[in-house]
Amino acid sequence: MRRGAIILCAGALAAAALGAGCTYRKVVYRRPMLAGLPGVESGGELISDKPRGYRDPTQIDQGEIAIEREDGSKILLARSARHLMAHIHTTLKENRKDLFTEQVLCEATRAEFRANGRDAGEAFDYLNEHEAEVGALFDRMPMGEYTPGALMRKIGDDVYRVSLSPKAAQGLPWCGFDMVWEGGRIEDEAGGEAQRAYVPTLEEAIEETGSVAAATAKIARARSDRPKQVFIQSGWKLRWFVPTPPQE
């Protein structure tokens, strides 16, 4: 009887608490939508920057999307539209025309400028003058291609368009942007373009050295003298921004 009375008493206390409207809520995570873009400030406290299942969009395979070399130069990596957006935002904010022109703008757009006798840096100058419009577009698609309502579709060979719906883009000069997938390049450990050192064949080495043993040693030395090569993945580059279609 005593054990039953304890259970009934506990149940009564729980019912009384519920009846009184007693609730408890613990905030474990709060992150503004734009907090992931480098340099973007947003109000509110970030209670946690690593919620369950969250992956920082500025991280790629345990590394940064901008690799800084010993000489101070940078290599920009973009494996998603949001990474590309981060590079556009950062190069404009830091006034890095050279970095934007060389590593953010795609080769096809640079080629069009050259074909018309113009400097591709004019593309940066134009966007720099319209930085507010760029920011307004990015504010409405803070998660890039993963923003609810945004659409990513292929429009050509290695060319994709990331855009908002006409309703979501209402009032903006641009509804999205086109981006091109460009492959990476091979560099040596020193950071320069890798040059493939010549390694002789066994027949060539024997003819030069006169013995198999000496030829084998010569080939081994040639292979060891070659600088270690690494593949630098660049990824998505900006084709250009897409004008918002007129409202019907």
Q: How many CB atoms lie within 10 A of CB 205?
A: 21
- Looking at the structure, tell me whether residues 172 and 69 fall in a common domain: yes
pLDDT confidence bin for 248, thresholds 50/70/90: low
Q: Is the pLDDT of residue 47 over 60?
A: no
- Looking at the structure, tell me whether residues 116 and 210 fall in a common domain: no
Give the pLDDT confidence score for residue 185 in this predicted structure.
65
- Looking at the structure, tell me whether residues 67 and 145 fall in a common domain: yes
Has residue 134 been placed in a domain? yes
Has residue 15 been placed in a domain? no
Between 208 and 133, the higher pLDDT residue: 133
Give the pLDDT confidence score for residue 139 in this predicted structure.
96
- Looking at the structure, tell me whether residues 71 and 149 fall in a common domain: yes
- In the predicted model, what is the mean pLDDT of residues 90-114? 96
Instruction: Tell me the pLDDT tens digit for each residue of 185-232.
Output: 666 655 555 455 678 888 888 888 989 889 889 888 887 777 776 666
- Looking at the structure, tell me whether residues 87 and 127 fall in a common domain: yes
Q: Is the pLDDT of residue 17 over 60?
A: no
- Looking at the structure, tell me whether residues 140 and 199 fall in a common domain: no
- Looking at the structure, tell me whether residues 113 and 201 fall in a common domain: no
- Looking at the structure, tell me whether residues 173 and 203 fall in a common domain: no
Do residues 171 and 143 touch, judged by C-beta distance below 8 A?
A: no
Give the pLDDT confidence score for residue 102 in this predicted structure.
92
- Looking at the structure, tell me whether residues 238 and 227 fall in a common domain: no
Give the pLDDT confidence score for residue 156 in this predicted structure.
94
Has residue 45 been placed in a domain? no
Has residue 20 been placed in a domain? no
Give the pLDDT confidence score for residue 182 in this predicted structure.
93
- Alpha-carbon span 171 to 157, nearest angstrom: 30
- Looking at the structure, tell me whether residues 61 and 175 fall in a common domain: yes
Has residue 141 been placed in a domain? yes
- Token code pair at residue 38: 């480098």
Concatenated DSSP letters for 64-96?
A: ESEEEPTTS-EEE-BSSHHHHHHHHHHHHHTT-
- Residue 209's SS3 state is helix
Owning domain of residue 211: 192-231
Do residues 172 and 100 touch, judged by C-beta distance below 8 A?
A: no
The answer for residues whose C-beta is within 8 angstroms of residue 52's C-beta and 6 or more apart is none
Has residue 32 been placed in a domain? no
- Looking at the structure, tell me whether residues 207 and 152 fall in a common domain: no
- In the predicted model, what is the mean pLDDT of residues 5-20? 44
Q: Is the pLDDT of residue 94 over 50?
A: yes
- In the predicted model, what is the mean pLDDT of residues 135-161? 95
- Alpha-carbon span 138 to 88, nearest angstrom: 10
Q: Is the pLDDT of residue 43 over 50?
A: no
Which range, of 43-52, 112-121, 208-217, averages the lowest pLDDT?
Answer: 43-52
- Looking at the structure, tell me whether residues 245 and 200 fall in a common domain: no
Please count the structural domains in the chain: 2
Between 37 and 124, the higher pLDDT residue: 124
Give the pTM.
0.62
Has residue 175 been placed in a domain? yes
Mean pLDDT of the chain: 77
